[in-house]
A and B are shown apart, each in its own frame.
Chain A
Amino acid sequence: MTRAVTRRRDWDVPENKQPVIETRGLRKVFRDFWRRPTVEAVKGLDLTVNDGEIFGLLGPNGSGKSTTIKMLLGLLRPTAGVIRVLGAAPDDTRAKARIGYLPEVSHLHPFLTPRETLMYYASLFGLPRAQATQRTRELLAMVDLEHAADRVVSGFSKGMARRVGLAQALVNAPALLILDEPTSGLDPIGCREVKDLVCALAKNGVTVLMTSHLLADVEDVCDRVAILDHGVLRAEGKIAELLRQPDAVRFEVEGLDESDAAAVRAELETRTGRRVRQEYPSMSLESYFLQVVARDGRQRSFAMAPFLHSPSASPHSQPSAPISNS
């Protein structure tokens, strides 16, 4: 399939990567029954998500993240502005065939089993039955739900339902994965697994757009982020660049005893004429938790479904930047 993303000449495409999602001047005004405007959720948003990127959309509640995602998916119509997703309008079925979506609330049919749920969504992608069955089996194994594959979803915990939701988002081996709060409802192990999976997918050429209230999650996996507030784009860029403090330098030395540390500190203060802060770094609570659970032999990780491994079929699978923090 030929690449269909259209590029406007004046658009800035960083690092020669082609944009997968583009919005220009995107606005959304909600109206009441009498067509009177009630709230302007998104105000002139210009956003570009490039091929193979993991892009984080951040913002407080009511900042317009979900509204933006729903417009990207064609669930809402923009009041003004242009949206191109995989080179097409959001309601184009050819583009939809290459998108995977996990909403903030999974919205699964409670009377279906995970197997039936995945078969249903596979049928919506027009997959032949044999292929759908194979993918369903692989995805159930991937999200570790084989043991509950034939139990109805209504009896599932939030975490299990989330896993089913994640599996359905991958049933078409998407080129673009849109995840709205993907770690919501998951325990720390589940969160780690999802983050690992997102990184692995990106390495295989999948573009990921995710939102999360857990900033640590975003920091862990995203290449670039955009921060929305009251519908306005407040900041956008690579995480490393956004978080960098140019007027400060940090050294980390292992095995330095107390007296040597004091000597180094004194030397630095003498040379720079500035006050030097000395810290003993600790691991994050998440790392400690995972370490403890690993000792109990409970830690595991999502094994990617085989059909998600082949990078050849993705039209966006040019080599992407290595994910440094996976």
Chain B
Amino acid sequence: MATGTQNGIGIAASARRIVGVAVLAVRAALRTKTVAALLALLAVCVLALPGVVKGDGTPEGELHILLTYTLGFAFGILCLATLWAACTLFAAEIDNARIHLSAVKPVRAIEFWIGKWLALLALNAGVLLAVYAGVYAQVCWRIHRDGWEAIEQPASRHVARPLLPTPREEARATLAALRARGEVPQGYSERTILRVLEEKANEKYNEIPPGGQQSWRFSLPRPLRAGEAITARLRFETEYHTRTQVSGICRLGCVETARAVEVPLDDFTMKEIEFDVDARAFGQIPADGLRTFELSFMHTGDARHAAGLLLRFRKDVALLIPGGSFWMNLLRAAFVHWSVLALLAAFGLTLSVCFSLPVAAFVATVLLVLTMVSNSVVQVVSEEDAQKWSNRAGMLVSRAVHGVTRRALQAEPLTALTHGERLDADLLCTSLGWNVLLVPLLLAAAGCVVLRRRELADTE
């Protein structure tokens, strides 16, 4: 009798089992109308939300609503749906004893886990693509309907930040200075002090007072070529009523050609100023392009009336050069979102191996909320605020969750899309490596250990 033994070993057989499990999970989703309900909800979100949320009437505002609100809302729905669906996949099968028929087959725990995870990845990829395609179609339609000018249209640009010491280096330098002055805070470890100083360095606002001047040097991620334009951007937080008298001169110079362009700026009504300079303005461009630039801003406002300009140098000053098409950037953003969903799917699956469906769903939701608030807690609450033991415990938990999830959530694709910043390859690699490979691998290992040790039947 031809037993399955001969076919049950080897990579090909393992792949067939994984595909079998994945196909079953996809069929379950499609035939139980879960995906249909989700798609209906997302369609309402993509089609109706831009009509409900009113923008400021500018193309930039419209784009902001489409990219931030619509995609953000849809992504939020998908996060919850993925997490709960993942919690269901094992837990429900164990609860209703349907796993008895599968578990007695020669399927390894890891094959079960990967099969179900791949099913969620495939479903998420399909749904995310549909959502992003819907948003892209809306953007194209608005450009066509409202006749946005080229400069108003969404773009994808490489971003260069000023060449500054890293926050860690700055924190060390600050600590050394504090030591030299004998002003190191007592009662805190050096590690804690360094962490706080690093956070402050990262978020620190620098002021350019009236009459003051600040310069930054940049190295572009790729050379600027002839026929291209370079964009300088300043984003500031100075309040509106104090900045009406702000004015200044921006000077953008190329180090290689020793040529500079001066641009007077006097409209600070918006919190962000961008101006383009054609590469030809920097003189003869060498064959390998231009890479090193220097940007300076001189505050020319009246010292008696004008406020200083408040900027975070690491975040608010940038040079941008063309970096591919908008739709490719949209696709990159979709990939980042997909990677986060892959992580959530892995997390939910492992929870569903450990707990029954209600418990797994509850734990998953609590941890998701904790992840969302931990970032704010860590940034807003200082050491001084957390003196009571309960506050300290809360701070400890928030720090732990933030520490674990920070790398997974560091990419902010919607912010990048809205600002026309290209999501670079290293960011995509980090998302892939961390969210799709490393953490899911650890979660899979944990889930498989539990699945192998857990009894899948009960007294009935």
On A, residues with C-beta under 8 Å from B are 1, 30, 39, 41, 66-67, 70, 73-77, 91, 93-94, 96-99, 101, 103, 105-109, 111-112, 116, 119-121, 123-129, 131, 152, 168, 171-175, 204-206, 307-308, 310-314, 317
Contact = CB atoms under 8 A, between A and B. Distances in A.
Nearest to B22: A123
A120 B24 contact: yes
Contacts of B393: none
B131 to A, nearest CB: 25
B101 interface: yes
B456 interface: yes
Interface string B1-23: 11111011110111011011101
Nearest to A93: B106
A74 B3 contact: no
A265 B29 CA distance: 73
Interface of B: 1-5, 7-10, 12-14, 16-17, 19-21, 23-24, 27-28, 31-32, 96-98, 100-108, 452, 455-460
A126 B111 CA distance: 11
In this complex, the member of A99, A124, A171 whose beta carbon has the largest number of chain B beta carbons within 10 angstroms is: A124
Given A73-B103, A97-B3, A174-B4, 9 more contacts: A76-B457, A94-B106, A108-B101, A112-B27, A123-B20, A124-B106, A172-B4, A310-B2, A312-B1
Given A126-B7, A126-B13, A74 B1 contact: no
Given A96-B104, A313-B3, A30 B459 contact: yes
A1 to B, nearest CB: 6
B20 A120 contact: yes
Contacts of B31: 111, 152
Contacts of A311: 1
Contacts of B3: 97-98, 172-175, 313-314
23 contacts: A1-B5, A70-B100, A74-B103, A75-B100, A77-B455, A93-B106, A94-B9, A96-B104, A98-B3, A98-B5, A99-B104, A111-B31, A112-B24, A120-B24, A121-B101, A123-B20, A126-B10, A128-B7, A128-B12, A174-B3, A174-B4, A314-B3, A317-B1
A126 B457 contact: no
Contact of B101 (A101, A125, A307, A314): A101
B1 A76 contact: no
Contacts of A39: 459
Contacts of A99: 104
B102 to A, nearest CB: 6
A124 B1 contact: no
What are the 10 A-B residue pairs with the smallest beta carbon separation, nearest first? A126-B13, A123-B20, A172-B4, A125-B4, A97-B8, A111-B31, A124-B105, A93-B106, A75-B457, A97-B106
Contacts of A206: 1
In this complex, the member of A66, A125, A172, A317 whose beta carbon has the largest number of chain B beta carbons within 10 angstroms is: A125
Given A75-B457, A107-B98, A111-B32, A96 B106 contact: yes
Contacts of A119: 20
Contact of A173 (B1, B455, B460): B1
Given A75-B455, A112-B27, A173-B2, A127 B7 contact: yes
A94 B8 contact: yes
A299 B104 CA distance: 34
A101 B106 contact: no
A207 to B, nearest CB: 11
A127 B24 contact: no
Given A39-B459, A75-B103, A126-B9, A109 B24 contact: yes
Nearest to A119: B20
A168 B105 CA distance: 11
Nearest to B3: A98
Contacts of B100: 70, 73, 75, 101, 103, 107
Nearest to A125: B4
